Amino acid sequence: MSGDYIGESLKEKRNIIIGRAEDVVINQVSNILLRIKGKVSQKAWRKLLNIAEGLDKDGTYAPAINAVRGAFENNHPYIQFLEIIAKKSPSCRKKLIMNFFLNAVFKGRKKREEFSLKNNTPQPFFFVISPTMKCNLHCLGCYAGNYPRKDKLSYEIIDRILKDAKTMGIYFVTVSGGEPFFRDDLMELFARHNDIYFQVFTNGTLIDTKLAQKISQLGNIAPVISCEGFEQETDHRRGKGTFKRICKAMDNLKEAGVIFGFSTVPAAYNYSTLLKEEYYEFLVKKGTLFGWLFQYIPIGFRPSPELMLTPEQRVTLYERIKEIRNRYPLFIADFWNDGPYVKGCLAGARTDSGYFHINSNGDIEPCVFAHFAVDNILDIYNRGGHLWDALNSDFFKEIRNGQPWNENHQMPCMIIDNPQCLRDVVKKTHPYPTHEGAESIIEDPMLTKHLDNYSKGLRNILKERDLLNPQPERKSVAI
């Protein structure tokens, strides 16, 4: 028996022992978190952070851990999260800890690294899937408004996609659309894959008390309800009566003990409302724990550059959001302006924080807002392939090779912040547009001129306000 063989055998056994020890620690931490009923003591906080640092051996999550420590030291509102979550349903608390933090973040990372090394693929943290583009609303400027309404992703195909995802080490999946809850089999898929944590973007109008209770019982679903401000702004975009319906949906989820969030599209019609503290007070009272801001992009249904915020408005709103983060137990993520936290663009299945999108037709897009593809999951499966086969296409590789698109991570986007980059990638790799009119974002003279001027204006305003290459604020939890 060779010395090399013995050495490798001992190394393998050592890794197994370490892995088992980590599992014991993780399970102990899980039990501690699940038993929390009220305010968390300083001693408990320090212990949890020390354990997290011990598990994070290579420092991947050090910025997030340090941000939480900073929040604790400064008595930040974010430290109320554990106390709030302790009041949620047992299933929701358990699945947040087991599925998201353990499976997706800690255990999933090692699995993603090993899979990547073996198969020569990138390591995206998550992906977005749109099981349907059918919807009961007709929202102004909907990014998905021009997709075909015929859904081609069967239950069996989605089930296979989720199995492939877990093989890759992905245990966090975002579900979008269309209105996801139009699918009658969606809850069955969530139950079947009860080791995945699902974030579901929904207009909220179908969440009655019965559905809220089902979501609560499963526990591995975090609905994200679209809300554009108060009644005037929400109904302006989503139709009369929508605001009252989503308020009822929030009440149903809160009553059922569900962890849920909100999604808002900053645009010309709601800018002034999004600057008001009252909006975020409202969201906290309704029970939301987190939320997403997605800048309006002129794609999809009747693209209109006039709906975009001006560069000055975008920067002013972000400065306001940073203030709000320090006042409320409401985690707000800005998909564009928080680029410094994730080192720029996430598109094209980028390793670490990156992702990709599978639309209801099966097309595999680099980003929810970049409607181009070279692969379709149905074609891949028909030829006996797997989900990860799409991640090393020339299209995706060219995107990853170009990242970050800008040395200033507050200008991360290849679509609106660095529009020439998307044009160059499409020209070089020849992807097909995934719906009628998708190519207008790179070909329509009116849109291209507007985006060129927008990106120049954004750089200038960031420079004027001395915000080029800013460091993430310590008090906010990074994502």
- ∠ CA 349-355-358, nearest 5°, is 95
Q: Kindly give, in sequence order, each residue whose CB lies less than 8 Å from that of residue 265, ignoring residues fewer than 6 positions away.
A: 141, 226, 228, 237, 293, 294, 295, 296
Contact 213, 256 (CB under 8 A): yes
pLDDT of residue 82: 79
Determine the straight-line distance between the first and last CA of the chain, rounded to whole angstroms: 48
Q: Kindly give, in sequence order, each residue whose CB lies less than 8 Å from that of residue 382, ignoring residues fewer than 6 positions away.
A: none
pLDDT of residue 21: 53
User: What gap in Å lies between CA 291 and CA 220, rounded to an integer?
Assistant: 17
Q: Tokens representing 222?
A: 């975090």
pLDDT of residue 126: 98
Tokens 């039990």 appear where?
Answer: 31
Please state, as a whole number, how many other Cβ atoms lie within 10 Å of the Cβ of residue 1. 6
pLDDT of residue 29: 61
User: What gap in Å lies between CA 218 and CA 383, rounded to an integer?
Assistant: 34
Buried b (16+ CB within 10 A) or exposed e, 216-253: bbbbbbbbbbbbbbbeebbbbbbbeebbebbbebbebb
Please state, as a whole number, how many other Cβ atoms lie within 10 Å of the Cβ of residue 327. 13
Residue 149 burial (C-beta neighbours within 10 Å; 0-12, 13-18, 19+):
exposed
Task: Tell me what the mean pLDDT of segment 164-183 comes to.
Answer: 97
Q: Kindly give, in sequence order, each residue whose CB lies less than 8 Å from that of residue 358, ignoring residues fewer than 6 positions away.
A: 127, 128, 129, 130, 153, 161, 364, 365, 377
pLDDT tens digits, residue range 298-345?
Answer: 999 899 999 999 999 999 999 999 999 999 999 999 999 999 989 999
Q: What is the pTM of this model?
A: 0.90
CA distances to 139, 155, 303, 349, 445 from 345, in Å: 26, 31, 22, 10, 25
Q: Which of 19-23, 176-180, 329-333, 459-463 has the lowest mean pLDDT?
A: 19-23
Using DSSP's 3-state secondary structure scheme, residue 188 falls into helix
